[in-house]
Each structure stands twice: as structure tokens, then as C-alpha cells.
Amino acid sequence: MKSGLHFLIAARECEIGDLEQLTLTGELVGVIGQLVHALQRERGLSNLLLGSRGTRFAQAREHQLRECDAAALQLRQHFDAMDTQGTAVRNGARLFGRIATVLQALDGLPALRSDIAALAVTPQAATAAFVRLVAGLLQVVFEAADSATDPQISRALVALFNFMQGKEFAGQERAFGGTCFAEGQMESSRAQQWLELIESQERCFLIALDFSDTAVQAAWRGAVDTRTQADLERLRRIGCTLRADGLLDPELAQGWYDCCTQRIDAMRGVEELQAAQLLQLCASRIAKARDELRNHEAIRDALVRTAGTSDAGEQVPNYGPHLERSILDLVQDQARRLQQMADELDTVRASLNERKIIERAKGLLMATRKLSEADAHKMLRQTAMNQNRKLLDVAQSVLALSDYL
């Protein structure tokens, strides 16, 4: 008959298996970060090319295409190496669905690039295509964070996901502002959209840093030098302040791109630090779990050596007071640890659950009101501001009214 110790050993083995899977996920997240960073730069250069009507930035864009292709190939290789058995991967149905969407979007990238090179697409349409691709990649990171069962690792993934999302909004701002400067035009609706991009990225960074340790917080505070930040704010004011004639100086496009790129490259450094910490944390947790497994196995072996025989001829463990105390301590420690992990996971996943609710509300508005994703999010935000309510509360109200909508 199997003892409690037998199941404690099985629990440790399962925990190690989960942690090893999270290590592979952490490596995948790091590769996704590289591709997202490359795509963000390609998007910015593409918008500058389109905004200048093909007169500038063509060579820089061609160089960036090669960098993106190399990063995309590396990601495809990681996808190929994944175990696609649904029962072997936690949250596999949603994760594999996200990956399928990403691969489809990557397959459509050459056609988009051809349209951009031929100036056959507007900057807005090109931006929307890149945003969808990057959003798909970030959804893979989101599913990874949502599937983590270790509170510390889950916390690190939540921090990384929100930081990557904030960086994506910064990349969208670079592309959007680049288009405005390159075209030399600004209007009130564009200025409002610009301000919303600034607000969105700052909100994501606040959440990310709230879940980050002191090393990441310090790295972020020191990432962007004061001169770059001052240049960014100056160009933001120029771009978002409407002139009577609605014109901008196209010569500022290069300075805007360079300034934003320095800032986003600095963000990439912080992102790499987070990814490295995630892998270190996984390795540390695995090492600790293996030590505990060896301890459990040593107690089991001791029981086997001291086992007696029952009248029926079965082996009966001879625990003795020392071994009884050791096993009881292990069981109680496991119970306390599981409860603590459950409590911590509930806290960490509150952020992820909030995003899920908001995304579902956006999807409902998109389907029922025929809105774009940006317009649906804007409607939720505007309603929250007008009613002085939290965005989450408004999203929950929208979902509660789903039958009427």
C-alpha cells in the first residue's frame, strides 16, 4: 500500500517537471522579446518611409528587415522544439492557439513588406498590421504568465509581461509620432491618440515595477538618461501642441525616431535583465526542489531498510519515533507551503484576471458595436473617466449586460 511519503515524493517530482517546463517557457519569452524589439523598430522605420513618401529611411529599413528575419527564424525554431502534446503542456489549448495565430501573422509579413516598399499601404494600416502581430506575440507571454504555478515565477512573468506591454505602447508612440513628423501634419484627434499612448505605457510600467524586485526597479530608473528624456518631452510637446495651421516640421522626424529608439533600446536592456532573472529563478527553484526530493528519498530508503514483515508476508515500515517525526514534519510543511503558494498566486493573478476581463469586454464591444480594438478600449476608458470609476468596474458592467448588447 502506498504511503503518504510516496505521494510527497510524487508531488516533488511533479513540481520539478512543472519548473522545467517553466524554464523552457522562460527561454521562449526571451526569444519573443528579441523579435518584438526588432519588429517595433521595423514598424517605426516603415512609418517614417511611408510618411516621407519613400524619400527617406529606405536603407535603414532594409537593414532592419534582415534583423527581424533572423529573430523570427530563431522563434520558429523554438516553436518547432516545443512538445505539442496537449497533456504535456499546462494551458496548452490557449497557448498553442496563440502560437498558431502568431505563425499565421508571420507568414503574412512578406506581403505587408512588399506593400510598404511599393507605398501601397497607409501608415495607419501598416501600423495596425504590426500591432496585431506584436499583440499576438505578447499574448503568448500572457499565457505563459497565466500558466505559472510557482508564485515567485508567476510574479516575475507578470512583471515581464506588463513591462513588454508598456514597451510596445512606447514603440507604437515612436511609429505614430514618426508618421506625424514625417507627414508634417497634426490634428486634434491625432494629438488625443498620442496622449493616450503615453498614458497607456506609463500605466503598464507602474504595474510592472510593482511586481518587480529592487534590481529591476533600479535598472529602470537609471535606464534613460536625463538628456534623452528631456528631448523626448520636448518633441512630445511640439507634436501634441496644435498650431493654427496644423503643420509640423518634417525635419524633426529623424530626431524623434533617434530619441525614441534610445529610450526603447534602454527598455530592452531592462527587459533582458528581467528575462535573465526569470531563468535564474527557475534554476534556483529546481535546485531547491531536487534537494527536497533527495531528502524525501533518503527517508524512504531508510524505511525500506528497517521494514519488518506482517503475518501476511508483506513488508511493514518500522518508522520509529525519529522517522515518524520527520514524515509528519514533511507533511505539515507541504500543507503550509501549498496554502502559501495558493494565497500568493491569487494575489499575483489578480492583475492577469483584470486584463482578461477588460479584453473580454473589448471583444464584446467590437462584436456588437462593430468597433476596432482601439475604439473599444477608448470607449471603456472614456466611460470610466466620465463616471469616475475603475476601468475594471466598467468592463465588468459591460460583460454583465452582454445579453442586452
Q: How many domains does the chain have?
A: 2
- Predicted pLDDT at 90: 65
The answer to whether 19 and 285 have CB atoms below 8 angstroms apart is: yes
Picking from 250, 285, 320, the residue at the C-terminal end of a domain is 285
pLDDT reading at 336 higher than 70: no
Contacts of 162 by beta carbon, 8 Å cutoff, 6+ apart? 204, 205, 207, 208, 211, 351
Range of the domain at 32: 17-285
Q: Are residues 92 and 202 in the same domain?
A: yes
pLDDT reading at 73 higher than 60: yes
Q: Are residues 107 and 46 in the same domain?
A: yes
Q: Are residues 279 and 398 in the same domain?
A: no
286 vs 405: which has the higher pLDDT: 286
Burial 303-333 (b: 16+ CB within 10 A, else e): beeeeeeeeeeeeebebeeebeebbeebeee
Does residue 293 lie in a domain region? no
Q: Are residues 394 and 256 in the same domain?
A: no
pLDDT tens track for 236-245: 999 988 777 7
pLDDT tens track for 286-317: 898 888 888 878 777 776 666 554 444 555 45
pLDDT reading at 338 higher than 60: no
pTM attached to this predicted model? 0.78
The domain spanning residue 372 has which CATH number? Answer: 1.10.10.10
Does residue 297 lie in a domain region? no
Strands (E), 130-204: none
- Predicted pLDDT at 316: 47
Average pLDDT value for residue range 224-231: 90
- Predicted pLDDT at 368: 84
**Share of residues in the chain with pLDDT > 90 (%):** 39
Parallel, antiparallel, or unpaired for β 308-309 and 315-316? antiparallel
Q: What is the spatial distance between Cα 236 and Cα 358, in angstroms, rounded to a whole number?
A: 28
Q: What is the spatial distance between Cα 86 and Cα 48, in angstroms, rounded to a whole number?
A: 43
Picking from 244, 265, 285, the residue at the C-terminal end of a domain is 285
pLDDT tens track for 25-58: 889 899 999 999 999 999 999 999 998 999 988 9
Q: Are residues 248 and 342 in the same domain?
A: no
